[in-house]
Every structure is written in structure tokens, then in C-alpha cells.
Amino acid sequence: SSGINAEWPLRPGKYHNLVVEAVDKFNNCLKVNTLRGCTYSTETHQLATHLYASIYHVYILDYMKVFPKNQIYILQMEERTRDPITTINNLCDFLEIPRFPARILKKIFEEREGIARNQISDELKIPYVLPETTKLLEKFFKPYLRDLVDLLGDEKWYWSRPH
């Protein structure tokens, strides 16, 4: 199989079939290996790196073996997208460094957003995903999201979308 990452963007049906294959491969791996073993497996990653890389709690637990929880800053991409200035200010506070002036941050983000809008071609935009693909991915990630919520102690990490 060529994998999900190789031929982006994929037609919705082809993407669905590759997600089914990736989920099946991962679940078969779990029959003989640990979750961590399957998450880090180069064999499973050849098919769908972003699928397994999104089982965040496995990687965060590894960081927590080396760094205390209070030295790890985790943010949601949605937060950064929704309110980049507050996100950067919160990060500065966490790092105990001075905040950047709001006018400078605003200018930087406005420039970057304009550049990004002009550089994203149609073939790089996320394609339509079949409803059954969405349901399969939600089912696949549900227990891992619960583990992430339990690890970080905040329900904001548990996403769900209405159908």
C-alpha cells in the first residue's frame, strides 16, 4: 500500500479505504504488542504516520518520564488558530519570559495569515472526508482521547463533532 501520506490529496473513497487499512493494521498490532510499541512501530507508521502520531498521551507520558508535568506546555492547535496572541502570551507566561507587545504580535500574525492564505493551493487543502471515515476515526481515537483527558486533567482535550 502506498499509504495515506504519499498521495495527498486523496479522493474521499480512497482515503477511507486507507484509514480502514491503517486502523486494522494498528488493531492487529495491539493483539501482540503494547500500545506504546504499536504507536512507535515503524511498520505501522509506513501506512499512516499522522494517525498514530495523534495518540498524544503515549508521547506525553514519555516526556513526563524525563520532565516534570509542570515543565511541559501543551496547547491545542485550535487555540493557537482561534486566538494566537493570547496563546503566545500564555506561552511566554509559562516560560517566565516577557510578553511581546500586542501590536507586534498582531502585525506578525496578520502578515503570516495573509502569506498562508496566498500560498495554499487547492491541492493542499484538506479534502472532503466521508461521514463513515469521520465515524471510524472518532471510534478509533475515542479511548486514546479519554486517556489524554485523564492524563492532562482537562475535558477540553476530548473532542467530538456533531454528525
Per-residue pLDDT tens, the chain, 163 aa: give them.
445 445 556 788 888 998 999 899 899 999 999 999 999 887 766 666 778 888 999 999 999 999 999 999 999 888 888 888 899 999 999 999 999 998 898 888 887 766 555 555 555 555 678 999 999 999 999 999 999 999 999 888 877 654 3
Distance CA 105, CA 124 (A): 27
Would you tell me how many other CB atoms lie within 10 Å of the CB of residue 25? 20
Residue found by looking up cell 472526508 in the block: 129
Tell me the three cell numbers of residue 63: 516526556
158: left (phi over 0), alpha (psi -120 to 50) or beta: beta
Nearest to 4 by CA among 18, 24, 17, 16: 18
What is this structure's pTM?
0.77
Q: DSSP letter at 31?
A: T
